Amino acid sequence: MTTLDHDAAVERLTKAVAQLTATTPLTEHHGHFDTATAYDLQARVVAHRTAQGHRVVGAKLGLTSEAKQKQMNVDEPLYGWLTSDMRLEPGEPLYVERFIQPRVEAEIAFLIGDDLEGDDIGAADVLAATAAVMPAIDVLDSRYAGYSFTLPDVIADNSSSAGFVTGSVLVDPTGIDLRLCGVVLEVNGQVMATAAGAAVLGHPAASVAWLVRALARRGEGLEAGMTVLSGACTAAFAISPGDTVVARIDRLGTVEVACR
């Protein structure tokens, strides 16, 4: 088995972003590596962004449904980091040419009100520390051709993090059962997928709690003011210039983005 060259692996991923050209999975060049190593690589990929002046503003989760975990032969989600250059403000267009092969998903976003850290955090702790919840559109962009990758590959690629937009209305989650919130993803007025908040690890707050516990293993946590995308309620769909994407979530409202 070829020894993993961390520098070369990180360069391969950052170059793919800079040149907007898909690459082949790291595991094809270096053999298998474990998820701990993958998160080490992810940290360096994110550090490359922050070295360019961008800030870490939140996190996102993936593989938060049982079906997706079975597909990848894993028993837990994954996560990536959101940086300031990924954020789209409400009404700001999404320029497809800035991505390699963008796809969109509908998610429930959490605005963290108090720092969250520790290996014993549960869903109730997350809700108590949440300032607001919002509908969100997560923009994925795998740096691997055709979204073909293993679990360590996608983790190293910052879990395909590329862009996001959240609703402009901040909703207090008190009294809202997020499990029961219906979710609709539309593209050009056509309903592409429907789901409920329970599709995300049984409860979106449970997904965020898993993230906090996972971060604790690396001595990290979530800071007040961060936005967390709790995981896809729907499948992901490819987008093209001219598309209009809308995510509607009961009790939380609507968010949309126009693609150009």
Q: What sections of 52-135 are H helices per DSSP?
A: 66-72, 123-128
Per-residue pLDDT of 38-64, as tens digits, reads 999 999 999 999 999 999 999 999 999
Model confidence at 215, pLDDT cuts 50, 70, 90, reads: very high
Whether residue 213 is predicted with pLDDT greater than 80 in this model: the reply is yes
Res 206: pLDDT: 98
Give me the helix-helix angle, 6-19 and 35-51, nearest 10°. 50
Res 2: pLDDT: 56
CB 16 within 8 A of CB 100: yes
Res 8: pLDDT: 94
User: Which superfamily does CATH assign the domain made up of 6-258 to?
Assistant: Fumarylacetoacetase-like, C-terminal domain (3.90.850.10)
Q: Look at the alpha carbons of 229, 233, 236, 240 in this order and tell me if their dihedral is positive or negative.
A: negative
Model confidence at 1, pLDDT cuts 50, 70, 90, reads: very low
Res 68: pLDDT: 80
To the question of pTM greater than 0.85 for the whole model, the response is yes
Res 3: pLDDT: 67
CA gap 121, 206 in Å, rounded: 9
SS3 20: coil
Per-residue pLDDT of 104-131, as tens digits, reads 999 999 999 999 999 999 999 999 999 9
Whether residue 183 is predicted with pLDDT greater than 70 in this model: the reply is yes
Per-residue pLDDT of 13-45, as tens digits, reads 999 999 999 999 999 988 899 999 999 999 999
Whether residue 214 is predicted with pLDDT greater than 70 in this model: the reply is yes
**34-to-24, 51, 248, 253 alpha-carbon distances in Å:** 18, 26, 37, 39
Neighbours of 18 (CB within 10 A): 10
Res 73: pLDDT: 81
Model confidence at 66, pLDDT cuts 50, 70, 90, reads: confident
